[in-house]
Amino acid sequence: MPTSTQRLDHTLHALKALGDEGHRIFTQIYADAAREAAQAADARAARGLSLGPIDGKLVSLKDLLDVAGEVTTAGAAMRRSSTPAAHDAPVVQRLRAAGAVIIGKTNMTEFAFSGVGINPHFGTPGNAQEAERIPGGSSSGAGVSVGRGLVDIAIGSDTGGSVRIPAAFNGTVGFKPTQARVSREGAFPLSFTLDSLGPLARSVADCATADAVMAGEAPTPLPARSVRGLRIGLPQGLPWEQCSAEVLQKTEQAIESLQAQGAVFTKLPWQALMAAPGQLQSEGTIIAAEAAAIHREALAHQRDAFDPRVLSRMDKGRSLTAPYYVNLLQQRQRLQVEMDAAMQNVDLLLLPTIAITAPRIADLLEDDDAFFAANGLILRNTSIFNFYDLPALSLPAPRAAKELPVGIMLVGQRMQDRQLLAMAAAIEQLLQE
């Protein structure tokens, strides 16, 4: 088995060979620090020692997490000259302490405000399956770094789907925890109410390990679960509308495989619960309102420095009134109670992560109407569960070598993150057989 140092050298060589594309995936590379960490992990392994299951794993960080001595750009050109971070974010500290080999920072949508992944300042990384297609956002480089096999684990953020979307588009696993599980200190915010931090990896087990480390827990193996007898809900309504034939086919095949092994499916008449987040925010979103507050100075004095598409969405937040915003928060609390009660009747939910497969970058680059239509459809399913603050995971559906990736979303009960991961691991194993 290759050592951590050997795998790091392979990744650094691969990034160099990728040329400009490598710079579109990683905005910063910490080659020297990563080599020191890899060599230390290898030295421990040679003595039969280990800091745990993440020791020696190659890890990338989304460029909104603070790394001591480095500038946190959050995908924005205007932040290139910002003061370097004084300290590592707590999740970065925990990853280092667990032996992670942090390679560098990955590219992202400006200020994490899009599910597409296009960035006019740092470039747009190509999809891991087909480079002319979008990577998904906002954790674009994170999804590509795992999808291309450059790292074992990528750390992203998820406010409306920004971990699960690039996971689905790039054929990886992506996990969004219940918000309170992982500290967001040292992570440049998009929405105080909805932001969460989560991992992308090639397996549920690696996501579970990273999640435990990020949450400050000692990583332990997931409890064994059987697919047989799992009560899986299929929430009816919005999540199934406008889905492509490929997405519906892959989702139905997954359902059939699970049914054959004894999972019990129920169609849930939750049309109102699925539609409520979008209907409630039809005149403006919580994200837009809070992003407008976070960036109020830049919106007043540095407008030309923004990605115009991000600017237009933030401007909508500036026009929202305080009564409207407060009502959104109060209605969300009411609906969360309703959803939490409804979730007691199932073990988890299953639905498509995204309604479509990854569009081509060229089709969205210059066409604002096409961009915003795609962005809305891409974020639609995932954002529902940020609104309800439920843990959610995107699992890649089985596919042939040349097929575009499709994600299957699994959703658990609030604060039952480990239970969701355990069930997801059982489902993953069955779908891979």
Show which residues are catalytic. Answer: 62, 138, 162
Amino acid found at 77: A
Phi, psi of 126 (to 5 degrees): -75, 150
Inter-residue contact 381 to 275 (CB < 8 Å): no
Inter-residue contact 73 to 111 (CB < 8 Å): no
Side-chain half-sphere CA neighbours of 295 within 13 A: 33
Look at residues 172, 158, 192, 164 and name the one whose alpha carbon lies nearest to residue 292.
192
Question: By CB neighbour count within 10 A (0-12 exposed, 13-18 middle, 19+ buried), where does 253 fall?
Answer: middle
Amino acid found at 296: R
Q: At what angle do helices 31-46 and 4-18 cross, to 10 degrees?
A: 160
> Cα dist. 61→30, 198, 204, 358 in Å?
11, 11, 18, 23
Look at residues 232, 302, 220 and name the one whose alpha carbon lies nearest to residue 265.
232
